[in-house]
Structure 1
Amino acid sequence: MNHDMKLPRGTTDVVSTHSVFGAPCWVSLTSRDLETTEGFYAAVLGWEWRPARLGDRFRMAVVDDTPVAGIAAVASMWQMAVAWTPYFAVASADEAVARAQERGGTAAVGPLSFPPGRAALLADRDGAAFGIWEGELFSDWESWRRASPAFIRLHTRDAFDAAIFYGEILDWASDRPGCCEVTYEGGEVVLRSRGEIVARIESGALGAAPDPTIRPHWQVHFAVSDVSACARAAEIHGGSVLSKSGDEAVLRDPDGAQFTVTSRPSR
């Protein structure tokens, strides 16, 4: 959720969700303990922190002066799950929420006004949480993409069914100029915006599974230069390593939120 509306220093052009509609444009973490969360992600991902305008429970993570993520220490107060949530750019928050509800999704929060925009927190038909954002972005979309997630992946019951659900809400593969492109590659549904892979959807999650890691959910993948170093830092600072391969590791922070670190592609 857009916790701080201040653009990074040096930015003069306002970029809105109309320019990248349907694409992921932000990620936000709900946590219980702000100080612990700040220390963990500073150590693991090298993030710096700024205060946010919504109050003392909110912080903005920045990398090289580019805002990359929001942290909200409201999980206990608002009875919310501790989790990373991706937000998608929409032209109209009201319309997107209505579309989601018409197709079997649910609205948990909003739409609410956070000038200069509006946000809502939703769940799809299988219970995976996601957000939508209408309004100004922090900076140009390409800068956020370079500084923050490599991509996001939806683990869901049926990838094709999910792609239809999200496509109808977010205008994927529509007739609108600039919409996201959807393809099927290597057993996954792949979402591209401006030619870049921004999301993947894979089948196989189990809605009634006792283990939340295999229930339908969106997983945020952060690009890093050293996966092994991030995994070691996570364990040292109170987190854990759920799995690790050569170029990827699934980590859990001290509050229980899971995320993935992926080797940054060479440019």
Structure 2
Amino acid sequence: MTEAREPAGPHARRLPGTPCWVSLMTHGLEATEAFYGELFGWEFRPGPQQLGPYVRALLDGREVAGVGRLPTGRRLPVAWTPYLASDDVDRTADTVRLCGGTLAVGPLDAAEAGRMAIASDPSGAVFGIWQGAAHAGTAVTGVPGAPVWNELLTFETESVAKFYKSVFRYQDEPVVSAGTDSLALLLDGRPVAELHGVGQGLPPGRGPHWRTYFEVADLDVTLRQVAELGGRVLAPAHDGPHGRTATVADPEGAEFSVVQDPR
């Protein structure tokens, strides 16, 4: 995953298909701010309110993620969602439909920041589409507290890969070290995300979904903080090709992974 960590300026153009932003929808916005603020050192300021109360998380003054409040009365999952860059959200949304995906929200304008949609692939995994204007996306990567990688956990990769390659023109290649059914999605020859087919190994009650990784300086300290702040450790720390990694959940159950770079 280190290949996808080049820092980008706040207004740098992202190639279509590049993961450019992550956003969490939650019930308790203030409690969620307190959890992630303590865990990652984030501060918050208001963002576009088209979908309800929404804040942007800042790390040393630079935007790294968004957090919004779920609409009252709607039974939607509390989850992190990656956004993939697009030069034309409306055209990308049409392609999503033509390729068997579903549009849940939009396309719609997010004030002067840009234009967005929320979609799901044919397996049901939710992702966002972002056409940046004043806001291009995450302004810093490769530092503790910033998102660093995204992976799709799904039943099998072959049909899902065809969908994403049709919508965003990715190339793909096998990820030999990650198992028998794992593919890297590439743009201009550079890995930007991975697909993992886990068959029936998905968590109980959870279908195919994207998972975001956040970099941390000390994984052991982070896992202690997660527990102290009311979260849970779902998969303990283990060594992998990209560093020490663990999967956790915040107090409302939103899952994410944390990784300590071996540098």
Q: Is TM-score (shorter-chain normalized) higher than 0.5?
A: yes
For residues 107-150 of structure 1, give each alpha carbon's deviation from its aligned partner in whole angstroms, at most 9, with x where no partner exists.
11010111342100001111100010112364687x53334222
Q: CA separation of 1:76/1:118 partners in 2, compared to 1, >3 Å: closer, same or farther?
A: same
Q: Does 2:49 match 1:54?
A: yes
Identity of aligned residues (%): 33
Who is 2:223 aligned against? 231
Given candidates 128, 131, 135, the residue that maps to 1:131 is 128
Deviation, structure 1 residue 58: 1.2
Distance 1:224 1:137 in 2: 28
Deviation, structure 1 residue 194: 6.0
Given candidates 51, 67, 70, the residue that maps to 1:71 is 67
Who is 1:84 aligned against? 80
Letter of the 2:39 counterpart: V
Deviation, structure 1 residue 190: 0.9
Letter of the 1:234 counterpart: V
RMSD between aligned residues: 2.4
Letter of the 1:133 counterpart: W
Given candidates 199, 204, 213, the residue that maps to 1:211 is 204
Q: Is the 8 A contact 1:151 1:197 kept in 2?
A: no
Q: CA separation of 1:256/1:76 partners in 2, compared to 1, >3 Å: closer, same or farther?
A: farther
Q: Is the 8 A contact 1:75 1:82 kept in 2?
A: no
Q: Is the 8 A contact 1:90 1:133 kept in 2?
A: yes
Who is 2:175 aligned against? 185
Who is 2:166 aligned against? 168
Q: Is the 8 A contact 2:21 2:65 kept in 1?
A: yes
3-state DSSP class of the match of 1:212? coil
Letter of the 1:239 counterpart: G
Q: CA separation of 1:164/1:265 partners in 2, compared to 1, >3 Å: closer, same or farther?
A: farther
Distance 1:52 1:137 in 2: 12
Q: Is the 8 A contact 2:87 2:131 kept in 1?
A: yes
Letter of the 1:224 counterpart: V
Letter of the 1:81 counterpart: P
Q: Does 2:257 match 1:260?
A: yes
Distance 1:127 1:24 in 2: 18
For residues 44-92 of structure 1, give each alpha carbon's deviation from its aligned partner in whole angstroms, at most 9, with x where no partner exists.
2222222224288211111122200000012545542210000000111
Who is 2:149 aligned against? 151
Distance 1:228 1:120 in 2: 37
3-state DSSP class of the match of 1:145? coil
Q: Is the 8 A contact 1:96 1:169 kept in 2?
A: yes
Q: CA separation of 1:53/1:118 partners in 2, compared to 1, >3 Å: closer, same or farther?
A: closer
Who is 2:23 aligned against? 28
Q: Is the 8 A contact 2:20 2:137 kept in 1?
A: no
Alignment size in residue pairs = 242
Distance 1:195 1:171 in 2: 12
> So what's the TM-score if we normalise by structure 1?
0.82
For residues 10-62 of structure 1, give each alpha carbon's deviation from its aligned partner in whole angstroms, at most 9, with x where no partner exists.
x7x8334xx42111000000000011101111122222222224288211111
Q: Is the 8 A contact 1:205 1:216 kept in 2?
A: no
Q: CA separation of 1:139/1:102 partners in 2, compared to 1, >3 Å: closer, same or farther?
A: closer
Letter of the 2:192 counterpart: V
3-state DSSP class of the match of 1:144? coil
Who is 1:200 aligned against? 194
Q: Is the 8 A contact 2:25 2:78 kept in 1?
A: yes
Distance 1:140 1:70 in 2: 10
Q: Is the 8 A contact 1:155 1:205 kept in 2?
A: no
Q: Is the 8 A contact 1:221 1:259 kept in 2?
A: yes
3-state DSSP class of the match of 1:42? helix
